[in-house]
Structure 1
């Protein structure tokens, strides 16, 4: 199916893009096309991200808003991580520990990450990373949000409407939604898309990273580690995501063993155990365990 969409959507413009030397594409998908990972379309196994750095925007107006926020882009040396707030995600806190080690200043909220605490904290950080459950309903924006820690007085559900009305992010900040279905959007009668990306961009973020479907815990942890390492090396968000996705889909069993060996001192002990169990179950060194788009293509860069 992804190859069919490539022939319809990409092939007609590919020659012109190459002639003009264009390497960066921003897609503003119409209607149900926003559910398709356009960066994962391929021609005989050659994916779009092999040739282009891909970014998305829900609309021209949101893209313009992000462009203005980008002019005030915050420094990328602080991070607030919301990890496993309802205590149901096996890899979330491992992911959080790995990511926090890359930053000069970091704070991890786990089972204390209720909506009030999160909303009162996010204004102090340049990057906000959510590793939790997302909630999505096609028929109602009221059911779109993030499942955080519950309290005696609150269910723990942080709704899209709350984010729009109460979240105050530093201008030009980055939000990473390492959650299932986190960038799926509700189509309004006006053809406008409403979802978590819009909410955080309206709250002054310039870029949101999130997923189109239910994601695998282990592959997501590896992808996020690579993404943040590339960011710290100076790459843009969309370029860092592209490089992380190419790394994940290309890596073999043998490469992973080498990578674990080279990063012994950096890797969380729990993550090393998970990885070694996975690798010992793979029969051949040449197997690419995360090659399927299921493992890497869900994540998109939205904004500017």
Structure 2
């Protein structure tokens, strides 16, 4: 198991194309190592919902997408999500799961606060947020901070405790060396790398770039939030679901845990650097499912399977029904035109398996 995990993390860190291309094969190997088929045999057939509390570095992997043996006579490969139609979700620990399950929240899901593309380099984020905001009440119940307006100071000034849903469509960064310095990257946080940066304030991510942590939303900032009305936090960003897997205690440090402690009963987050286009499509479908009163974990799982199985022609037809202006609609269609009509552009789990529901 350790050798497999080291190979997975090494490929993710150094060979992104190789990681993406061979993700399906890696998940098959992980399923065999974990003896997932034998474990499933011990679960009663009537059990249709699964909550996973992974140990240590198992938090890093999309266990919900592990392949399982199909029933005799079935002609379609199955994954763990198929076995549990009432949803597969996660929790960082039993203690945090119990905490989220005891929270009482209003039934309303009408007030949205969203951060949209603060780094101004995500082409499909405007499409994602422009559609999602229409599923909530208009302003002032909904507020969107767009690009340069999405600063740390602006977020600090907002009454986040009044919103039912927080949606962050931006970059995220996980710091393996110092997990508490992991952050959502906000406007004006990037700066050229200095010769001798202050490690307490600046986080260097490459030879020529670093982040000003005082202009980001760090894990420590998240722990200080008060989200009394919140029902869902969605982190539509890169690496937002990663945790400090070197910690052998029951409490894992990561952005999802921070939002759970701050008051949200559930968080949707990602396990790797996600594709901009596929994420926008997945998020729109996810919120469409929520609008139909589908339970949270099921809404995400169904959206993932939908994205995996959709052909180019199906995605084009679906996108034409979205409430978008012509310029944004054209952007989606131009991206999908690269594929053949019967091709499934996002079949690889790299495009759909990164996201998971954490919490109740």
Shared fold, TM over 0.5 = yes
Q: Distance in 2 between matches of 1:184 and 1:16?
A: 29
Structure 2: runs of 5 or more not aligned: 1-25, 70-76, 190-211
Deviation, structure 1 residue 96:
1.0
Contact 2:171 2:184 in 1 (8 A): yes
Deviation, structure 1 residue 268:
4.3
Counterpart among 169, 175, 180 of residue 137 in structure 1: 175
Counterpart among 101, 107, 110 of residue 77 in structure 1: 110
- 2:42 is the counterpart of 1:16: yes
CA deviations over 1:232-266 (Å, ceiling 9, x no partner): 110111111011101100100121232234x05x1
Q: Distance in 2 between matches of 1:2 and 1:236?
A: 26
Residue 244 (structure 2) aligns with: 186
Q: How many residues align?
A: 297
Residue 47 (structure 1) aligns with: 79
Q: What secondary structure, in the 3-state scheme, does the structure 2 residue paired with 1:208 have?
A: strand
Deviation, structure 1 residue 145:
1.1
Q: Distance in 2 between matches of 1:268 and 1:39?
A: 35
- Give TM-score, length-normalised by structure 1: 0.91
CA deviations over 1:118-165 (Å, ceiling 9, x no partner): 1342112100000011121111024211111238x9852111111112
Q: Which structure has the larger Rg over C-alpha atoms?
A: 2
Residue 56 (structure 2) aligns with: 31
CA RMSD of aligned residues (A): 2.0
Counterpart among 266, 288, 296 of residue 352 in structure 2: 296
Contact 2:163 2:229 in 1 (8 A): no
- Give TM-score, length-normalised by structure 2: 0.78
Counterpart among 309, 333, 350 of residue 276 in structure 1: 333
Residue 301 (structure 2) aligns with: 242
Contact 1:178 1:210 in 2 (8 A): yes
- The 5 A counterparts of 1:60-75 are 60-69=94-103, 71-75=104-108
Contact 1:28 1:58 in 2 (8 A): yes
Bigger drift between 19-28 and 204-213 goes to 19-28
Deviation, structure 1 residue 51:
2.4
- The 5 A counterparts of 1:96-135 are 96-105=129-138, 106-110=142-146, 111-121=148-158, 122-135=160-173
Q: What secondary structure, in the 3-state scheme, does the structure 1 residue paired with 2:237 have?
A: coil
Q: Distance in 1 between matches of 2:230 and 2:162?
A: 13
Residue 267 (structure 1) aligns with: 324
Contact 1:74 1:172 in 2 (8 A): no
Counterpart among 235, 243, 257 of residue 177 in structure 1: 235
Q: Distance in 2 between matches of 1:256 and 1:162?
A: 38
